[in-house]
Amino acid sequence: MLDAKILVVDDNKSVLSALEILLQFEYKTVQTIFNPNQLPTLKGLPDFDIVLLDMNFSAGVNTGNEGLYWLREIRKKAPEISVIMMTAYGAVDLAVKALKEGAADFVLKPWNNDKLLATVKSAYELRQSRKEVIQLKQKEDNLKQVINQRKNYIVGNSKALNMVLKLVGKVAKTDVNVLVTGENGTGKELIARELHNSSKRNDEVFIAVDMGSISEHLFESELFGHTKGSFTDAKEDRAGKFEAANGGTLFLDEIGNLSLQTQAKLLSAIQNRTVVRVGSNKPIPVDIRLICATNENLDKMVADGLFREDLLYRINTISVEVPALRDRDQDVLVLADFYLKKFAAKYGKSGIRINQIAQDKLLSYSWPGNVRELLHTVERAVILSEGNVLKSEDFLLNAKPNNSPEIGLKTLEEMEVQMITNALAKNEGNYSAAAEQLGISRQTLYNKMKKIK
C-alpha cells in the first residue's frame, strides 16, 4: 500500500463508493467529495497527491466545462497535484483540452479497473517526480546562497579604490567579459565577486577556478567535464566548471599561467559559448559571465609569444586594474582596524588596539604582499600580543632585500622566499622569466608562491 492521499470528486455517489472501495487497498488515504463547491474550503488540499475529478456536475450538461473550471481552481491552489479527469461523454478534443489545462490523464466511464489503477499509479509517480523537482530546486537555491555568501568584504574609502568600484558598478550591469589585473594579494577575486553580486546574475552561482593549480592533462576535464569511461579515473559522467557556472559567473584566476595549448581550447569554448566533454562529441551550450584575473603583464606576454593575442581580446572587453595597497593612502589603517576586530573576536582578545607609532610603521611600509600580507601581519600580531595595545615591535614586517645577507641570520625557507621575491621583482612579475632565472619550472614557482601567500 502506497503512502498517498487520493481525493475523488463526483456527483454520483455510486461512483464515489466504487472508487473508494477500489483504491483503499492500494493507497493509504482515500477521501470523497460529492459537491465540487467544497473544494475552495477543503482543508489540506495541497497535501493530496491525486485528484480524480468528474467533468460534469449539472444535470443535462456534458460539455466538460465545469470540470475544466475546477481543474484550474485546483491547479491555482496546488499546482503539483496530479489531476485525472473523468467523464462518461468522451471525445478526443475534450481530452486534449483537459491535458492542455494541466490534467495528468483522462479516464472514460465506465472504466476498466486494471487500467484505472495503472492510470492512478502513473499519476502518483508524476506527483512524486514533481515533489523531487521542487526539493531539488530548493536545495539548488540554498546551495547558491551558501556559495555566494560573502566571506570577505571590500574595505576602504581611498580615491583609488572608489574609482575601481565606480567602474565595477558600471560594468556589472552588462554581460561583457572582464579582465581584472593587479599585484598578488590586492583582492582581485573580491572585485570579481563584486561584479557578480552587482549583476543581473547575482541569484545564480559564482564559480571560481584557480587556473594555475590545474595540471595541463586535467584542464579539459576540469573546465569542460568528461563522460564515463573517457579515461582511467572517469567512473561517471561529470560536468565541468563551465557547465556548473551556467546562468551565473565563471571566474578564471591566474589566467596568465595557461600554456598556449590550453589557451587555444579555452578560446574555442569562449568563442562558441559551448563546451564538449572529454569522451563526447556533443556540444553543450553554456550561458556564463566570464571574468578573468592575472598579476601578469599579458600585453608583454603576447609580445613574447607566451599568450594568444586573440584570447586576450576575448577576455579583455573591459579591464579593471586593482590598485596596490601602497597606493590606497589611509586604507592601510582602515583595513588594519577591520582585521584587528575580526581576529580579536576570533582569538578572544577584545579591546585590543594599535598605538600611534605602530600605525605610522604600517603606513610607511610598502606592502609588497598587499592586502593579503596585511591580513597575515595583523593576525600574527594579535595571536602573539601579550597586552591590549599593539606596539611597533608586534608587527613583523619583511625588511628590504639586503645585497649581502648574513646567511646565519636566515633560515633556508626565508632565503628561498627572498630569492623568489627578488626574481619576480627583477622580472616585473613575469613567472616564466623568474622561473628560468631561478632554474625551476614555472609550475614549481607557482606552487612555491601559493605556499608563501
All CATH 1.10.8.60 domain ranges in the chain, comma separated: 325-394
Instruction: Check whether 61 has a pLDDT greater than 90.
Output: no
Dist. CA 160–CA 191, nearest whole Å = 13
Mean pLDDT, the chain, rounded, equals: 86
Query: Does the domain formed by 407-452 have CATH 1.10.10.60?
Result: yes
Non-local (6+) Cβ contacts of 147 within 8 A are: 205, 206, 207
Chain-centre distance of CA 363, in angstroms? 37
Per-residue confidence band for 55, with pLDDT thresholds at 50, 70 and 90: confident
Query: Does the domain formed by 325-394 have CATH 3.30.70.1710?
Result: no
Helix (H, G, I), strand (E, B) or coil at 344: helix
Instruction: Check whether 290 has a pLDDT greater than 90.
Output: yes
Instruction: Check whether 115 has a pLDDT greater than 50.
Output: yes
- CA distances 54 to 124, 146, 337, 386, Å, are 18, 46, 71, 80
Instruction: Check: CB of residue 249 under 8 Å from CB of residue 205.
Output: yes
Amino acid at the residue 373: E
Q: Are strands 249-253 and 289-294 parallel, antiparallel or unpaired?
A: parallel
pLDDT of res. 431: 76
Instruction: Check whether 451 has a pLDDT greater than 80.
Output: no
All CATH 3.40.50.2300 domain ranges in the chain, comma separated: 2-140
Dist. CA 385–CA 359, nearest whole Å = 16
Helix (H, G, I), strand (E, B) or coil at 362: helix
Helix (H, G, I), strand (E, B) or coil at 321: strand
pLDDT tens sequence across 231-281: 877 888 888 999 999 999 999 999 999 999 999 999 999 999 999 999 999
CATH label, 161-321, candidates 3.40.50.720, 3.40.50.300, 3.20.20.140, 3.40.50.2000: 3.40.50.300
Of residues 322, 372, 370, the one with CA closest to residue 180: 322
Instruction: Check: CB of residue 107 under 8 Å from CB of residue 85.
Output: yes
365's grid cell: 611600509
Dist. CA 127–CA 83, nearest whole Å = 9
pLDDT tens sequence across 73-84: 888 888 888 999
Which of these ranges, 39-48, 112-121, 137-146, 430-439, has the smallest mean pLDDT?
Answer: 137-146
Dist. CA 199–CA 174, nearest whole Å = 7
Burial class (CB within 10 angstroms; exposed 0-12, middle 13-18, buried 19+) of 79: exposed
SS3 content of the chain, % helix, strand, coil (to 5): 50, 15, 35
pLDDT tens sequence across 368-406: 999 999 999 999 999 998 889 999 999 988 755 444 344
Dist. CA 170–CA 336, nearest whole Å = 29
CA angle 356, 362, 368 (to 5 degrees): 180
Q: The cell 571560481 sits on which residue?
A: 208
Per-residue confidence band for 97, with pLDDT thresholds at 50, 70 and 90: confident
- DSSP summary character for residue 64: S
Cβ atoms within 10 A of the Cβ of 134, count? 12
**CATH code, residues 2-140:** 3.40.50.2300
pLDDT of res. 60: 67
pLDDT of res. 369: 92
Burial class (CB within 10 angstroms; exposed 0-12, middle 13-18, buried 19+) of 195: buried
Dist. CA 4–CA 106, nearest whole Å = 20
Maximum alpha-carbon separation in the chain: 108
Residue 415 phi/psi, 5° resolution? -65, -40
pLDDT of res. 408: 43
Cβ atoms within 10 A of the Cβ of 336, count? 23
Chain-centre distance of CA 242, in angstroms? 11
All CATH 3.40.50.300 domain ranges in the chain, comma separated: 161-321
Q: Which residue has the higher pLDDT, 75 or 324?
A: 324
pTM, two decimal places = 0.62
Q: Which residue has the higher pLDDT, 100 or 413?
A: 100
Q: Are strands 225-226 and 238-239 parallel, antiparallel or unpaired?
A: antiparallel
